[in-house]
Chain A
Amino acid sequence: MATGTTSIEVAAPTGVDDPGPGVARPGRRPRLMFLRNPKALVGIAILAVFAVLAVLGPWIAPYDPNQVSRDLLQAPSGAHWLGTDHTGRDILSQLIVGTRGVLVVGLVAGVAATALGVVVGVTAGFVGGAGDETLSAVSNVFLVIPQLPLIIIIAAQLPSAGGITVALVIGVTGWAWGARVLRAQTLSLRRRDFVEAARATGERTWRIVLAEVLPNLTAIIAAGFVGTVIFAVLSQVTLAFIGITPVSEWNWGTILFWAQNNLALQRGAWWWFVPAGLCIALLGMALTLINFGIDELVNPRLRSTGMHARTLRRRGIRPRVGFTPVVRAGRPAVETSEEER
């Protein structure tokens, strides 16, 4: 996941003298373009379903997730669509009720980390000099220190590691990546004409930042936010799975915790551990797709301009770098290319 948004990261440092990939040109409507992106749309749709579950969960769940029953370790059936666990609790209900915890933690952690990242990154990029050096050094340190073990030792030493606490810990440890990318972009923005102009006319720094710099960083901030949410969801689920967070708070990781500790694998109770993992994967995938959409917005080279396999095949086009396809109108494609490699 950390590599899912590489292109922004990499494009950023080179953005110093080219038009800057992360910068929306005035006059274009990036948000509308974003909504036309099919990948982003699919991601948003999946996310919306989960959001509805998170809000309505407790009301639409067929059972109370803590309600034990006589149906011990039942395979999926009409009564229990996703079966039951070792004490007869309904797994579908656990999943539905657990959605809220996952999303809330992801959101809170994402907001916390993004806010920190924006403050540190934009400040570092804008003030420059010693302040920049210090802030960059701090964020680089946080980048190199493995987050999950850090979160684990912090969460394990806290007296109570409930959802929000964990979210804040994730936020406090996970801001560095966004800060680094934002710093690079801010640096390149600072040298851009319109910012120089604002500085020359004696605008206040904070006004320049709010009015000129931040709006141009929207896409990158959004990508960083989504990336952090992915990371937060995975971390939180992992913490729950390890058993660091209270096992009474339902989330998808808690289900896996119970499954692992009650030998679901050995008993072949696939319905116990497969759905939760698929939900995590689905949510993660939705967020990744949204990030792809943002990525393609920021880095036009990744955009596939009409490169839908079907259209290409219909027109007989094989797009290749270095050998422009020749398709004469009305005539079938001249097959000039022998198979490469």
Chain B
Amino acid sequence: MTGPVLEIRDLRVDYGFGDDPTHVLRGVDLTLHRGEVLGLAGESGCGKSTLAYAATRLLPPPGLITGGEVWLTDREGNRNDILGLTDAQLRAARWRDVAIVFQGAMSSLNPVFRIGRQLTDGIRAHRPGLSARDLEARAAELLEMVGISADRLRAYPHQLSGGMRQRVMIAMALALEPQVLLMDEPTTALDVVMQRQILEQIMELRDRLGFSVVLITHDVSLLVEVADRIAIMYAGEIVEEATAADVYRRPRHPYAHGLLGSFPPLHGPRRELAGIPGSPPDLQRLAAGCPFAPRCPHAMDVCQQVRPVLGPPRTGEARRVACHLHGADLPGDVAFPAELAR
């Protein structure tokens, strides 16, 4: 059951087709293993959604993928680069292998079609042989699965509450039992109780159906609870990636540390909320060095000049971090910050 199911290699994305595009993703590396929940966190605008869209080639114009590979291992064990598929192959792979729940679930449903039709049209596109009765039965089963009664199949989206619409989207995403479920802030528009409820439901379904999840959210405390691994993004790059517990207890990147500090801890003694001073950089004009350097409390000279690469820290732990503090060539005269060495 292990082994990678989705491998993103050096993915690069620009916005703008002209001569002066914004580089929104600048070489993202990320691996999703089978059955795993991978959390992706970062400040607003750091490119989380862009990553999800680009990995499925759903990025709208003027988005442009300028490099990288997205390897998907399908159920039969074939590895394919999504970025190299033809339209027909890509269409076939979508929803069957990779399904997405979008950030704006409120607007993800077509307002003029009934829920039932929207649940079935994806299934029909991939399994043309199915009879109308089978489709209907499957749609009903899917709705029941997310806790909505099957007689809502004939409802229009505007007749459902926000939470129900979100569940419908999740049911829809699971229609073909995909191997990978990308969820972009699936619960932001909902109240806290509803958020928990829906996430618990997803995790339950994952245990039952065995798909892998990439869960994108602002809410790091939520990730700590449900994710197996967490990747932290900053300005279009992954800056730290480790198991959930490691990221939570022993963040290595100053940004990750700051990000965790901006959320109250779930259990245990209250830490002071530190937050991160300053604001995210303008992706249009990034300086040469580490993009976080201007806001980093531990920035050194090298940080202004050289962009750190994502790799294992000097200590040899099983995690990856993009920071000169953890690089092999840390100058001896730098006092290593204690909070990053726990």
What residues make up the interface of A, taking CB atoms closer than 8 Å to B?
305-308, 311-312, 315, 317, 319-329, 334, 336-338, 340
Interface pairs (5), CB distance under 8 Å: A306-B18, A306-B62, A311-B18, A323-B90, A327-B65
Return chain B residues, CB-CB under 8 Å to A322. Answer: 58
Given A305-B17, A319-B17, A324 and B87 touching (CB < 8 A)?
Answer: no
B64 and A327 within 8 A (CB): yes
B15, B54, B86, B88 — which one has the most chain A CB atoms within 10 A of its CB?
Answer: B86
Q: CB within 8 A of B54: which of A305, A308, A324?
A: A324
B63 within 8 A of A: yes
Return chain B residues, CB-CB under 8 Å to A320. Answer: 61
Given A323-B57, A323-B90, A311 and B19 touching (CB < 8 A)?
Answer: yes
Q: CB within 8 A of A326: which of B15, B16, B17, B65?
A: B65
B199 within 8 A of A: no
43-65 of chain B: CB within 8 A of chain A: 53-54, 57-65
Q: CB within 8 A of B59: which of A305, A324, A327, A334?
A: A324
User: How many A-B Cβ pairs are below 8 Å?
Assistant: 69
Given contact pairs A306-B21, A317-B64, A323-B87, enumerate 4 new A-B contacts (beta carbons under 8 Å): A306-B18, A327-B66, A337-B87, A340-B87
Q: CB within 8 A of A305: which of B16, B65, B88?
A: B16
Given A311-B18, A328-B66, A338 and B87 touching (CB < 8 A)?
Answer: yes
A315, A321, A328 — which one has the most chain B CB atoms within 10 A of its CB?
Answer: A328
Return chain A residues, CB-CB under 8 Å to B300. Answer: none
Return chain A residues, CB-CB under 8 Å to B90. Answer: 323, 336
Q: CB within 8 A of A329: which of B17, B60, B62, B66?
A: B66
B150 within 8 A of A: no
Give the residue name and chain of the A residue nearest to B85 (CB): A336
A186 to B18, CA, bound (A): 36
Query: Least Cβ distance of A235 to chain B in Å?
Result: 37
Query: Least Cβ distance of A330 to chain B in Å?
Result: 9
A311 to B64, CA, bound (A): 14
Return chain A residues, CB-CB under 8 Å to B62. Answer: 305-307, 319
A320 to B64, CA, bound (A): 10
A337 to B66, CA, bound (A): 16
A324 to B51, CA, bound (A): 12
B83 within 8 A of A: yes
The 7 closest A-B pairs by CB, nearest first: A306-B18, A319-B61, A324-B59, A306-B17, A305-B62, A324-B57, A326-B65
B84 within 8 A of A: yes
Return chain A residues, CB-CB under 8 Å to B16. Answer: 305-306
Give the residue name and chain of the B residue nearest to A307 (CB): B17
Secondary structure call for the A interface:
loop
Q: CB within 8 A of A321: which of B19, B60, B65, B67?
A: B60
B53 and A324 within 8 A (CB): yes
1-37 of chain B: CB within 8 A of chain A: 15-19, 21
B65 and A325 within 8 A (CB): yes
Give the residue name and chain of the A residue nearest to B18 (CB): A306
Return chain A residues, CB-CB under 8 Å to B66. Answer: 327-329
A164 to B185, CA, bound (A): 60
Give the residue name and chain of the A residue nearest to B90 (CB): A323
Query: Least Cβ distance of B13 to chain A in Å?
Result: 8
A307 and B61 within 8 A (CB): yes
A321 to B60, CA, bound (A): 5
A329 and B54 within 8 A (CB): no
A311 to B18, CA, bound (A): 7
225-263 of chain B: CB within 8 A of chain A: none
B65 and A336 within 8 A (CB): no
Q: CB within 8 A of B58: which of A305, A324, A326, A340?
A: A324
Give the residue name and chain of the A residue nearest to B87 (CB): A337
Q: CB within 8 A of A312: which of B17, B53, B84?
A: B17
A322 to B84, CA, bound (A): 15
Query: Least Cβ distance of A300 to chain B in Å?
Result: 11
Q: Give B71-105 as 1s and 0s: 1 = Cβ < 8 Å from A's Cβ atoms.
A: 00000000000011111101000000000000000
A321 and B61 within 8 A (CB): yes
A337 and B59 within 8 A (CB): no
Return chain A residues, CB-CB under 8 Å to B54. Answer: 324
A334 to B60, CA, bound (A): 18
A194 to B67, CA, bound (A): 43
A336 and B84 within 8 A (CB): yes
Return chain A residues, CB-CB under 8 Å to B17. Answer: 305-307, 311-312, 315, 317, 319
Given A322-B58, A323-B57, A336-B84, A305 and B18 touching (CB < 8 A)?
Answer: yes
B15, B54, B66 — which one has the most chain A CB atoms within 10 A of its CB?
Answer: B66
Return chain B residues, CB-CB under 8 Å to A306. Answer: 16-19, 21, 62
Give the residue name and chain of the B residue nearest to A329 (CB): B66
A324 to B17, CA, bound (A): 12
Return chain B residues, CB-CB under 8 Å to A337. Answer: 86-87
Query: Least Cβ distance of A320 to chain B in Å?
Result: 7
Given A311-B17, A329-B66, A338 and B88 touching (CB < 8 A)?
Answer: yes
Return chain B residues, CB-CB under 8 Å to A305. Answer: 15-18, 61-62
A327 to B61, CA, bound (A): 13
Return chain B residues, CB-CB under 8 Å to A326. Answer: 57, 65, 83-84
Query: Least Cβ distance of A310 to chain B in Å?
Result: 11
Return chain A residues, CB-CB under 8 Å to B18. Answer: 305-306, 308, 311
Given A334-B84, A340-B87, A324 and B65 touching (CB < 8 A)?
Answer: yes
134-180 of chain B: CB within 8 A of chain A: none
Given A305-B17, A307-B17, A325 and B87 touching (CB < 8 A)?
Answer: no
Return chain B residues, CB-CB under 8 Å to A307. Answer: 17, 61-62
Return chain A residues, CB-CB under 8 Å to B15. Answer: 305
Give the residue name and chain of the A residue nearest to B94 (CB): A322
